[in-house]
Amino acid sequence: MNKQISDQGLASQVDKLPKEIQPQRDLWSGIERAIQGKNQQDASEVKHNNIIPMAWAASLIAAVLVTWIAFKPTSLQLSTPLLVSNEQASSTSDMALASSMQSSFQQQKQTMLVSYGAPDMTNLPISMQNQLTALAQARQTIKKALTNDSTNVDLLNLLRFTQQQELNLLQQLYPYMNNKNAQWQRI
Amino acid sequence: MNNSKVIDAQKLFVTSPEQELIALAKQGSQTAFHQLYEIHHRQVYALCWRMLADKDSAEDVCQEVFVVLWQKINNFRGESKFSTWLHSVTSNVVLGHLRKQKNWLQRVFSIEDQADHVLPEEATVTLDDSSELEELDQHIAKLPERARLVFVLFAVEGYRHEEIANMLNMAVGSSKSQYHRAKALLKQSLTAVALAGENYE
């Protein structure tokens, strides 16, 4: 008559509980959809994550290329620095630095013209000759100014810049120097 | 030394075909994962059902467990049985679901989670889908939530009270007392059913 369930009775019933229960509906289709959605999401995230470093790398390469193109030394330029530092200016006495720059420039210009076969500059169009003359005059003016202020870094840099412009112009004119008027016209 | 122990454990606990399926699933094979699902989903569903005592929630959470499993399967290193690991994943997903549900209820009804007796006593469920369940399962489902969770985790799943206390964020003593409470309630309801049957006869 005693129907009270004991601890052992309960434990026995617990042991008999099925380890598995079959769900009433198909659960896999929902899981499959969710998994595919996650995979696509992950793929897009991976793609997105790849784009950022690639963009950074591309920007870096572009920046390096631009810098290199802008500052690359031409074959005919000497390895002298483009700008004159304060140390250089102060360590060189009076007009020595300016003279040294001038003689260096003349040497480069001469070397360049010799390498081009000593072309006749008078073959150049008047406008080009005028430009070269203007650069030469500017150079002379700066040199005069340097006689009063020989350690002025700005003037020294300006001299260097003018010299460089003259050399660059000559370099650009090189393909046309030894040819006839037809090629000059193209410039 | 440690590596050889891990390899031994893998050989000991994971049967070769299952190990192969796990390896393939880790590489992204949905076919292998589907086979793992076919092997384990009834056990996972049983645990979900017993902890949640609700068919619809159990089905939803069972699906969630396998989605989580797909994402986390690379975390399984074969140091324990796959089914044991899967059961712990399931328990965590179920408890996370309950926490979310409780937070939602608290937000909606502005109920503060003050004490044990505030929510769980009302958390018993009315079964409308119990026809295929064992009699004991039907009684377990009617237990208050905390008592039910502790009973299922301790008596059915074999967790220790320390582990349960950690999982349910309660004191070990509370886990033990909830277990005794669940046992008393179950014995009481099973006895009542037995007496009713006797009277009917």
Cross-chain residue pair B46–A11, CB shorter than 8 Å? no
Tell me the two tokens of residue B50: 């017993």
Q: Given CB atoms, is B187 within the 8 Å cutoff of chain A?
A: yes
- Residue B133: closest C-alpha in chain A: A21
Q: What pLDDT digit, counting tens, does each position of A22-79 carry?
A: 999 999 999 999 988 877 776 666 666 666 777 777 777 777 777 776 665 554 444 4
Nearest by CB to A23, from B62, B136, B156: name it: B62
Instruction: Tell me how far apart the 2 most distant CA atoms of chain B are, in Å.
Output: 66
**Alpha-carbon torsion, ordered B41, B47, B53, B55, to 10 deg:** 0
- Judged by CB atoms within 8 Å, which residues 122-161 of B form the interface with A? 129, 132-137, 155-156
Say which residues have a Cβ less than 8 Å from residue A88's Cβ, sequence separation at least 6: A97
Q: Please compute, for residue A107, the number of CA atoms within 13 A of its CA located in the half-sphere on the CB side.
A: 9
Interface test with B, best of A8, A21, A35 (most B CBs within 10 A): A21
Q: How far is B41 from chain A (nearest CA, A)?
A: 8
Nearest by CB to A20, from B42, B67, B70: name it: B42
Tell me the two tokens of residue A143: 């040199």
3-state secondary structure B64-98: HHHHHHHHHHHHCCCCCCHHHHHHHHHHHHHHHHH
**Alpha-carbon torsion, ordered A54, A58, A64, A67, to 10 deg:** -150
Model pLDDT, residue A177: 65
Q: Given CB atoms, is B45 within the 8 Å cutoff of chain A?
A: yes
Ramachandran region, residue B28 (left: φ > 0; alpha: ψ -120 to 50; beta: rest): left
Q: Given CB atoms, is B102 within the 8 Å cutoff of chain A?
A: no
Query: Are the C-beta atoms of B94 and B167 separated by less than 8 Å?
Result: no
Q: What does the pLDDT average to over B25-33?
A: 92
Tell me the two tokens of residue A157: 């840099």
Model pLDDT, residue B46: 94
Q: Please compute, for residue A83, the number of CA atoms within 13 A of its CA located in the half-sphere on the CB side.
A: 6
In the predicted structure, residue A89 carries a pLDDT above the cut 60: no
Model pLDDT, residue B109: 60
Q: How many CB atoms lie within 10 A of CB B20?
A: 13
What confidence category does residue A80 fall into, taking pLDDT thresholds of 50, 70 and 90?
very low
Domain boundaries, chain B: 1-113, 114-201
Query: Using CA atoms, how far apart are residues B107 and B97, in angstroms rounded to an integer?
Result: 15
Q: What pLDDT digit, counting tens, does each position of A104-142 carry?
A: 888 888 888 887 777 777 777 777 788 888 888 888 888
**CATH number of the B114-201 domain:** 1.10.10.10
**CATH number of the B1-113 domain:** 1.10.1740.10
Q: Please compute, for residue B169, the number of CA atoms within 13 A of its CA located in the half-sphere on the CB side.
A: 8
Q: Given CB atoms, is B43 within the 8 Å cutoff of chain A?
A: yes
Query: Are the C-beta atoms of B185 and B191 separated by less than 8 Å?
Result: no
Q: What pLDDT digit, counting tens, does each position of B34-59 carry?
A: 999 999 999 999 999 999 998 999 99
Classify B17 as helix, strand or coil: helix
Query: Using CA atoms, how far apart are residues B47 and B61, in angstroms rounded to an integer?
Result: 10
Cross-chain residue pair A5–B191, CB shorter than 8 Å? yes
Interface test with B, best of A2, A31, A41, A45 (most B CBs within 10 A): A31
Measured between beta carbons, which residues in chain A are less than 8 angstroms from residue B37?
28, 31
| Residue that wins the pLDDT comparison between B33 and B9 | B33
pTM for this entry: 0.56
Q: How far is A49 from chain B (nearest CA, A)?
A: 18
